[in-house]
Amino acid sequence: MAPSFDLWAKGSHKGTPVVVKMENPNWSMFELEGPSEDDFLIGNTPTGSREKARGKNAKQLTWVLLLKAHRAAGCLTSLGSAFVSLGSAVRRRVASGRTDADSTSSNENKTVKTRFYNCIKVFLWLSLLLLGFEIAAYFKGWHFDAPKLQLQYVFASPYGVRDLFDWVYTRWVLIRVEYLAPPLQFLSNFCIVLFLIQSLDRLILCLGCFWIRLKKIKPIPKQDAVADLESGENGFFPMVLVQIPMCNEKEVYQQSIGAVCNLDWPKSKILIQILDDSDDPTTQLLIKEEVHKWQQEGANIVYRHRIIRDGYKAGNLKSAMGCSYVKDCEFVAIFDADFQPTPDFLKRTVPHFKDNEDIGLVQARWSFVNKDENLLTRLQNINLAFHFEVEQQVNGIFLNFFGFNGTAGVWRIKALEESGGWLERTTVEDMDIAVRAHLKGWKFVFLNDVECQCEVPESYEAYRKQQHRWHSGPMQLFRLCLPDIIRAKINVWKKFNLIFLFFLLRKLILPFYSFTLFCIILPMTMFVPEAELPAWVVCYIPATMSFLNILPAPKSFPFIVPYLLFENTMSVTKFNAMISGLFQLGSAYEWVVTKKSGRSSEGDLVSLVEKKPKHHRVGSEPNLEEMKADLQQEQEQKARKKKHNRIYTKELSLAFLLLTASARSLLSAQGIHFYFLLFQGISFLLVGLDLIGEQVL
């Protein structure tokens, strides 16, 4: 007896049903089921049922197509609104007329800045002239497959020319072949070699990080050094000095002071210094009041203010170390004004010093509370995650040396004193003291599992100034430290690591080849196609290096292409800073405090607030609180008026240069080169119009 099919029963569905989810005002497709078994039983299905099923399927297909069309229309509407917003932002920038040349606090010398900008403008106008020339030649039949040149076409006639234009273009081609292409090719090959060396260094660092993870290697303190507060005299609780240097940072002072006052350490074994270099009376008053508040709660905290800011941060720290009570302290923990250490920070760092008399520094890594604020903060998070996870950790494990990050670290005071203390000779006093301590034989420990929260710059202007200081300072230090490194009584490998890897490769060569190769040589090869730049240099190796860079921040993989383009865009600022520091050009020694937004206070100290005891206020204090709130509101209004987006002329000029070169590459049908130049030009354009960071309406 033939089996009966329940599928044919009444109420069973046929064809390809579509379940439509209605979400006013949008429709979306929720589920699309496959065909039922009776769709394939055509021979046993009545003709009427088949026709009915076909009609039903056609209706369902219509619904599917309508839903997809609606979704596509929604995407187009979103893109349209995005372009409208972008156009409005561009109009605002142009209408305001504010450029980086108007910045009163810029740390670049005006003469150097103008000369650099003029050089870029010369390249831009030359490229525009050559583009027009090449387009005219193209329409007259001069078609060359880059980078090969069919010279027999040049001498097609007995005199090598057919008219005046052909004669001019022929001379230009011969000049390119004889005089321009050889030096350009040599410079290109030189930069490629530097690029490969730097890429090899990056690969070795990544392999070292992989080995550390595979073997689960990490610094472990002595077991008897780790103790709870209840252990009393049995615990390892040396006297610790905590310093917070700050200058006009009213947005973040409360959270940093609150965090260090809640450190889980015996009150008799900790002394907190608030080193205020503020020249704003309102900020001074606010910080003084915060310190006084914690003094009333029993915190061992003092307020110090310098009237004259000699030496900037280094001078501030040097002055504080000269206090008489510092001699009673064995260690000093340093935090910038936007850092909030967790309560167990000292318990997880200080024990590493016990029974390790050669350890001079224990450094914790940073984490960022505003890393998802905008595209700029996300890209910074990728860079800094690689710096800590790979560079600092690998150098700490295998070499016991790395550059001190200037904050979130604990120093042995003896190591600071033996190394000469804080010096004001550069803008990277943290790197300076680290190099001098390393030359004295002190070892460093990096703790990748101990994090200290802070924030990264949210505006491109603040980030640009920070990067200028971070890349000019190491070149100043290299000039000053090179004789000391050569004379130091350390082994040859350590000298090689300091001179070639630490300074030359990572601080000088990297910004040099990034700017020269991708912002100058690559566009020039489009107009001098006889000089060849291989596709693997333009695309494959940079993509691989970006992939390695982004591994420590896996959630940032969607931003791998913007990261690659943005790093090349920032090479302009880094190259300019590197040259300024190396040759002492411009205001290379000027310190500009990185602006903070104070976003760290939005929930990061909730646990500390819950632990905070109630404050008992005296009768006159409500008036002080009221005045404090009024002053703070007034300052915020002033800051809001000063805040605005700028147009960055160097970046805009390079944007048009790269876009011009991309148009020229179309004539030679260079696919990868065209796309790279196009997207890199757009990246420069967005940065030049200050559309990548915080937007001020």
Angle at 506 between CA 650 and CA 443, to 5 degrees: 140
For residue 628, give Cα distances in angstroms to 286, 585, 614, 619, 624. 7, 42, 19, 16, 6
Angle between helices 649-667 and 560-582 (to 10 degrees): 120
- The active-site residue out of 100, 336, 430, 432 is 430
DSSP 317-361: HHHHHTSGGGGG-SEEEE--TT-B--TTHHHHHGGGGTT-TTEEE
Hey, is 367 helix, strand or coil? strand
Q: Decide if 280 is catalytic.
A: no
Phi, psi angle pair for 627, to nearest 5° = -65, -40
Contact predicate 275/244, CB 8 Å? yes
Hey, what amino acid is at 123? F
Helix, strand, coil tally for the chain in percent (to 5): 60, 10, 30
CA distance 296 to 301: 10
Q: How many residues are given for the chain?
A: 697
DSSP 551-569: TTSGGGGGGHHHHHHHHHH
Please, what's the b/e burial string for 622-656 (b: 16 or more CB within 10 A of its CB; e: otherwise)? Answer: eeeeeebeebbeebeeeeeeeebbbbbbbbbbbbb
Angle between helices 181-215 and 541-550 (to 10 degrees): 30
First-to-last C-alpha distance (Å) of the chain:
80
Q: How many CB atoms lie within 10 A of CB 489?
A: 7
- The active-site residue out of 100, 276, 277, 432 is 277
Q: What are all long-range contacts of 549-552, with beta carbons under 8 Å and residues at least 24 apart?
A: 549/202, 549/382, 549/383, 549/386, 550/382, 550/386, 551/206, 551/386, 552/209, 552/385, 552/386, 552/388, 552/389, 552/390
Hey, what amino acid is at 319? S
For residue 273, how far is the Cα from the chain centroid? Answer: 30
Q: Decide if 328 is catalytic.
A: no
Nearest to 317 by CA among 306, 302, 328, 329: 306
For residue 493, give Cα distances in angstroms to 361, 440, 442, 463, 486. 21, 15, 16, 35, 12
DSSP 492-524: HHHHHIIIIIIIIIIIIIHHHHHHIIIIIIHHH
Contact predicate 586/471, CB 8 Å? no
Which residues are bridge partners to 454 per DSSP?
Answer: 368
Hey, is 127 helix, strand or coil? helix
Torsion-angle region of 690 (φ positive above 0: left; ψ -120 to 50: alpha; else: beta): left
DSSP letter (8 states) at residue 268 = G
CA distance 277 to 313: 9
Contact predicate 111/586, CB 8 Å? yes
CA distance 116 to 403: 30
Nearest to 90 by CA among 696, 694, 690: 690
Q: Which residues are catalytically annotated?
A: 277, 430
